[in-house]
Structure 1
Amino acid sequence: MAGASQKKLAVKNKSILDQLLYISIGVNLLTLFVIFYFKRPSNYIPYLIFQIPSIILQNLLEKNGRPKYNSAGQLVKSGDDILQKGSLFQYCFDIIYLTWFFNILTILLGSNKVWYLYSIIPGYIVYKLSGFILPFFKKSKPVVGEEVGETSATSKDSSGLSKRQQKLKARQEKGPSTKYR
C-alpha cells in the first residue's frame, strides 16, 4: 500500500500531466486549423518537423510521471516527481512550452520563420555544457619569467617541497603535540 506522500505525488502528477495534455491538444488543433483553413503559413512541413521534439518529450513525461493503478484502483506506482527542482524534467517542460509559444507566434505572424527561434534550445544546451567542458581544455599558463619545467625559488626549496609541505614535514618530525593543564 502506498504512503500518503506517494498518493499526493500521484494526484499532483496526474493533474499536471492532464493539464499539459489538454493544453497541448488545444494549441496544436488551433495551429492545424489556421494552417489548413487560412493557409497561413502556406507550408505545414516545418510545423510537423518541430512538433517531433515536443511530442517525444511529452511522451517521456507521460511514461515517467503518470501514476499506475491496478485493477482494484489501488496505487501501484506514483511515478517520478516531474516538478522536482534541478531535474531534466524541467527542461522537458521548457521545450514543450517554447514549442507552444512558437506555434502561437506562427499563427499570429503567419510565417514559418518563427521556427528559426527554435535554435535557442541547442544554443542554450551549448551554453550550459560549455561551463562544464571548457575547463578541461584550458591549459595552465606558466608564470611570466619562468620556463615550463622550472620551479619558482620562492615557493620551493632545493628539496623540491613547497612551504606548506615543509611545515607539515617539520610538524611530523616534532611528534605529536600534547597539551597538559
Structure 2
Amino acid sequence: MAQKSAKLLAVKNSSRLKQTHLITLVIHIIFLVLAFTLRTSLRITPYLVLSAPALALEYWLESIARPQYDAQGNLRRPGDDLDAPGLTEFFWDVIYWTWINLLAVAIAGNRAWWCYLVVPAYAGYAAFSTARGVKSMFGGMAGAGGEGDQSAQAQSRRQQKMEARGGQQKVRYR
C-alpha cells in the first residue's frame, strides 16, 4: 500500500495520455484523408500552423505527466497531475478546441478556420479583465494624480465629519 496515491496518479495519467494520443491521431487522420481525397479544396498550410500549438502542448503534457519507472518496474515518479487547475487546464482547452476546429473544418470547409480565433480572443479578454482587476485593486495607492473626485466619494462618513471639524483628529493624552 506504499505510495497508493502516486500509483493511482500514474495509472490515471498513463490512461489519459494514451486516450489523448489516440483521439488526436484519429482526428488528424480523418482531416488528412478528407483533405487529400474528398475535399481537395482544404488548405494544408492553416492546418500545419494551427495544429502545431496543440501538438506542442500535447507533447509538453506528455513530458510532464508520463510516469517514470526504474529498471525493476518500481514507480520512480508518477508525473504531474493532468487535472491540475490553471495553466494545465488552459492547455487542455487549447487541445480540445483544436480537435473541435479540425472536425469543423473537415465538415464545413476552409472558412471554419476562423473559429480558431476564439482561443486568442478569450486569452486577450482574460488578460484584459485581470489587468483591470489589478488596476482597481491598486487604484487607491496612486495618490492624487487625477482622482480627486473619486477620493471624495470614497471617504467614509467618519472621514467626512472629521474634515468638517477641521481635518485633524485630536489626540488626548491621559
Residue 2 of structure 1, CA deviation: 6.1
The match for 1:65 is 65
The match for 1:125 is 123
RMSD of the TM alignment (CA)? 2.5
Unaligned runs of 5+ in 2: 141-146, 153-158
The match for 2:100 is 101
The match for 1:7 is 7
Structure 1 Cα separation of the partners of residues 2 and 117 of structure 2: 43
The match for 1:143 is 149
Asked if structure 1 preserves the Cα contact closer than 8 Å seen for 2:162 and 2:168, the reply is no
TM-score using structure 2 length: 0.79
Deviations 1:95-151 (A, max 9, x none): 111111111111111x2221111111111111111222124556663238x7xxxxx
TM-score using structure 1 length: 0.77
Residue 70 of structure 1, CA deviation: 1.3
Unaligned runs of 5+ in 1: 147-151, 175-181
Letter in 1 for 2:132: L
Structure 1 Cα separation of the partners of residues 46 and 22 of structure 2: 23
Identity %: 27
Letter in 2 for 1:63: S
The match for 2:144 is none
Letter in 1 for 2:117: S
Name segments (4+ residues, structure 1) moved above 2 Å. 39-42, 135-144, 152-161
Structure 1 Cα separation of the partners of residues 29 and 70 of structure 2: 33
